Chains A and B, each alone.
Chain A
């Protein structure tokens, strides 16, 4: 009797310790070096949500970056749903993209170092979601896509499991970055501990295929104390380089070229998701302006020797961290998933070509234009 009593309470004790340990491991927030770690466990659930696929104040379409207009830190509620979308990435080249939010790359998220983000994502890959109709809700991103549908996005379906991997987040990947099936949603918190520009992408295997199919984007985390030249910056843009591996399918659509992706032989290398968008809609500035570019190479596999013809980079912060400052650079070498925040002074009126100085990639599309007006 005694023994069994002891055993029972011992077991109950064990159970509680076990639970407590588990809870501790999952929810206890802690600080190190002024940074926040230890997020609650991700929630996976089903919801009836059929609203705008992108929700949040600071989410914009490339090359826009919504300025941060708040003091101190903010808690962001952000939604980026997964939707399949038929999009055009070069003249006449359409494919059924796997996307975050409906475009490739997905929306740019702008937060500040130390901000907390509560992120929700529904896997709507089995739903036809229209992203191009004007909506009052959602984010500036939704409005921008409705006004400027240069990818000619059309809803499609392509049910697959997907996940979200924010490089800007520091969490346990087997919890927060887990794959969810079509119809499911995931919700988790993360804190933007490090300043810089970070890619996000789908981490579901084959991660090469998922990223190449279009599931990537950028989070810009502005440093809480800024960069040294902030007060002089006139224009600020986000430029994302990435590759497509496409070949003609049976109908009009292109499809994923497995062999080309395996051998890193892209069909298109692009800025901001489209082969000519940065020429069709050049970045604009004036002579004498200090232009800031957040340049991210989202890959999935290529490198970029980013250069602006006619300019020298006055300041370069590798990965966008203010401590990683370099000066006077002609090109910045970006491996896959690397970024830099780059300041340069526009010397005079004219056209400046943004280019991957690996010319084979430039000839596949990795170029763009900055059009400079006269000095004001």
Chain B
């Protein structure tokens, strides 16, 4: 962002030709950004956990990756951040499962086996965090993630019920060896975020959130989750519970992530102002 600002201010004293080049490179950048990230407009949502009472949670505008981070993208990250390679990474940041499905020499992904466009899994929360920072963003907060996940339209309660049933079945039958490619679930929010359900589970910034003071989500926490008639209620409860049980070093074949961004819009703003 700093770099862009500098270029833009310098541009005013440069030739017309230089400006054109600068703008062209912005355009390419923006196109890439638009493809991969979308604006999730501010709004509010009510937690699907009935234990969480009170006002709806407000969420500010943010940008979110359209899909989860792929094996290929994560490999690129490792190329530039050797300290996150499986044989380099300090044990405090991962457990033994870290990238265990990357079986090639030097623990690189065998794309025949794991797929270029499949979401990267077996990554710890620490690794996911580092990736998003490297990518100029951060992990989405729990509230951002859940809010985004609720931005879906259904035509009828039948559709909602079908969706719920499908989701819960998915939890009982994920084939972690054959996870689909990103974008393959056909599940998409109103603003274009894909696969928040039905592909993998995803890390959020506050990985172990207190859901409610009295709610431990351990043994004996049952019921109450199914009564809302909300498409996400049951599946969300499973997600919350799963989150509560993981620690930031955990890495399993079902958990990946996507990144959120606060200020990617500065690029757009810049463009508008300078033009």
| A→B interface (CB under 8 Å) | 46, 48, 95-96, 126, 157-161, 163, 165, 173-174, 177-184, 203-209, 213, 247, 249, 253, 255-259, 262
Contact = CB atoms under 8 A, between A and B. Distances in A.
Given A177-B220, A208-B222, 15 more contacts: A96-B173, A158-B172, A159-B254, A160-B171, A161-B244, A161-B245, A173-B218, A174-B218, A178-B218, A179-B218, A181-B250, A184-B250, A213-B172, A249-B169, A256-B169
A181 B216 contact: no
15 contacts: A161-B242, A163-B219, A179-B217, A179-B219, A181-B245, A182-B250, A183-B96, A183-B252, A184-B247, A204-B219, A205-B238, A213-B172, A249-B169, A256-B172, A258-B165
Interface in B123-137: none
Contacts of B95: 46, 183
Contacts of B218: 163, 173-174, 177-179, 203-204
A126 B176 contact: yes
Nearest to B222: A207
Contacts of B176: 126, 157-159
A162 to B, nearest CB: 8
B26 interface: no
Contacts of A181: 245-247, 250, 252
A263 B16 CA distance: 71
B96 A258 contact: no
A126 B101 CA distance: 11
B165 A126 contact: no
Nearest to A258: B168
A174 B216 contact: yes
B173 A255 contact: yes
B100 to A, nearest CB: 9
Interface string B238-275: 10011011110011111100000000000000000000
Contact of A179 (B96, B173, B245): B245
Contacts of A179: 217-219, 241, 244-245
Interface in B161-188: 161, 164-165, 168-169, 171-174, 176-177
Given A157-B253, A159-B252, A182 B234 contact: no
Contact of A165 (B219, B242, B251): B219
A96 B172 contact: yes
B225 interface: yes
A59 B250 CA distance: 30
Which of A158, A177, A213 has the most chain B CB atoms closer than 10 A to its own CB?
A: A158
B164 A160 contact: no
Nearest to A176: B219
Which of A96, A204, A207 has the most chain B CB atoms closer than 10 A to its own CB?
A: A204
Nearest to A156: B175
Given A255-B173, A258-B168, A173 B96 contact: no
Q: Chain B interface residue count: which class?
A: 35 or more
Interface of B: 95-97, 161, 164-165, 168-169, 171-174, 176-177, 216-222, 225-226, 234, 237-238, 241-242, 244-247, 250-255
B139 to A, nearest CB: 18
A126 B97 contact: yes
Given A183-B96, A258-B234, A253 B219 contact: no
Contacts of B173: 95-96, 158, 249, 253, 255-256
Given A158-B176, A173-B219, A205 B168 contact: no
A159 B253 CA distance: 7
Contacts of B247: 181, 184
A95 B97 CA distance: 25
A1 to B, nearest CB: 41
Contact of A126 (B216, B220, B238, B253): B253
B112 to A, nearest CB: 20
Nearest to A165: B219
Contacts of B237: 205-206
Given A158-B176, A182-B97, A259 B165 contact: yes
Contacts of B252: 126, 159, 181-183
Contacts of B225: 205-206
Nearest to B246: A181
Nearest to A178: B218
Nearest to B177: A157
Nearest to B238: A206
Contact of B219 (A95, A177, A183, A213): A177
A205 B221 contact: yes
A180 B222 CA distance: 17
Contacts of B168: 209, 256, 258
B246 A161 contact: yes
Nearest to B122: A126
Nearest to B224: A205
A45 to B, nearest CB: 11
B205 to A, nearest CB: 18
Nearest to B176: A157
A177 B252 CA distance: 22
